[in-house]
Structure 1
Amino acid sequence: MHGTLLPHDLLWGLTPGQLPAEVPAWAVAAMAAGQPVVVRRALTAPGQVAVGVRGALREQRYATLMAVADIQRRVRPEDLCHVESDRGWPALQALAQLRASLDSGSWTWGVSGSAGFELASGVPALHQASDLDLILRTEQPMSREQARTLLALLDGAACPVDMQLQVPNGAVALREWAGASPRVLLKSASGARLVDDPWQALEQVA
């Protein structure tokens, strides 16, 4: 019904009664208000998905699990690329600036982080100093030179932009892949490790 759930997907359906007993009060309030949770990278048992509850403050993040059967709605980052907002925060200005250029590329892109949460839910999450978080689905390898060209585009936007390359085995920061270091940090469900090539599944930690 929901297809493959991926990190940064937003899910609705988790209720306060499904949260652990030790959950903070702000997380209970967020679920009582019908807010979504975000899929995170973690290993889980079949039928469950690792999610994070988001509060109003930056430090209010709570990791938990959700039954796949309880999912009522799913919004992916790529569903949010063309969602309009009348709020004039720099992150949304940057999104408007970058939209056409990213649409013209050969990869699928999406909006995550605070901007994605706000555009999907209508719950205010952005402020004047918020970065714009984006994801890029890169099933096929991206060269370092391509990464540098893309980073130069993002660095011309109205606010700092953080893009994650979603590779078959996890994710790597575009800024790292565009940098000079021969190894980059690959984040996966089983943890983070330094790799030479994020698109090679069998690469091991040194």
Structure 2
Amino acid sequence: MVNAILAHDLIWGMPPEQLPADAPAWVIDSIDAGQPVVVRRALCAAGDIAVGVRGRLREQRFATVMRVDGIQRRVKPEALCHVLIERDLPAVRALDQLRPMLDDCGWVWGVSGSAGFELASGIEALHPQSDLDLILRTPQPVCRSQARELVNLLDAALCPVDMQLQTPFGAVALREWAGSTRKVLLKSAIGACLVDDPWNPQEQAA
């Protein structure tokens, strides 16, 4: 699991000629500028990997695929936990605030979303209204009471924080798992489905 290419990994090396003919100009500009792409959860042909291209605007997101053998560099979200940036923004302050507590939580965690993109690439992606997006590697089940404790921790942060639990079979929102609803939405490469237990592979196959 650690060495596999996973959703939220940032990768470099996609050539512009691999983009589809209908790619918007901003997508071509982003790739020409040497920006990384982010790995998505989606099925694709052997030798390809599903990725997304980010633009400067929030609505500028483009889904495509990249050849695996073209990858020149990869940065995982957990490699960004202790990367520092000197920008006085709520998401940056929230990350500084949460870092020691997450380090002590007993799970591997990482930074994704706009914060992860900026930490990995040095390209400014955060703004004053940005949320902080985090992931938690959870190969073993997290009980709902533990999830609620984590939500309480995140709710004390200096900006809104979203966390995804990365199970071996997909991802589930921490806040959803901490809630009272019995079934939660599990997102995987084959799509999204409602499950009782995100760590049970038989549910996804059902």
Question: TM-score normalised by the shorter chain: which range applies?
Answer: over 0.9
Confirm or deny that 1:45 pairs with 2:45.
yes
What is aligned with 1:20? 20
> What is the alpha-carbon distance in structure 1 between the residues aligned to residue 131 and residue 23 of structure 2?
28
What is aligned with 1:111? 111
What is aligned with 2:139? 139
What is aligned with 1:99? 99
What is aligned with 1:34? 34
Could you report, residue by residue, the CA deviation over 1:156-177 in whole angstroms, capped at 9, with x for unpaired residues?
A: 0000000000001000000000
What do you get for the CA RMSD once the two structures are aligned? 1.3
What is the correspondence of 1:125-164 to structure 2 with a 5 Å cutoff?
125-164=125-164
Q: Is the 8 A contact 1:195 1:205 kept in 2?
A: no
- 1:185 Cα shift? 0.3
Give the 3-state SS of the residue equivalent to 1:194 in structure 2: strand
What is aligned with 1:197? 197
Give the 3-state SS of the residue equivalent to 1:21 in structure 2: coil
- 1:91 Cα shift? 0.5
| Structure 2 residue runs without a partner (length 5+) | none
Equivalent pairs counted in the alignment come to 205
| Structure 1 residue runs without a partner (length 5+) | none
Letter in 1 for 2:123: V
What is the correspondence of 1:68-87 to structure 2 with a 5 Å cutoff?
68-87=68-87
Q: Is the 8 A contact 1:193 1:205 kept in 2?
A: no
Identity %: 67
- 1:17 Cα shift? 1.6
Name the TM-score, length of structure 2 as normaliser: 0.97
Letter in 2 for 1:34: G
- 1:3 Cα shift? 3.5
Give the 3-state SS of the residue equivalent to 1:202 in structure 2: helix
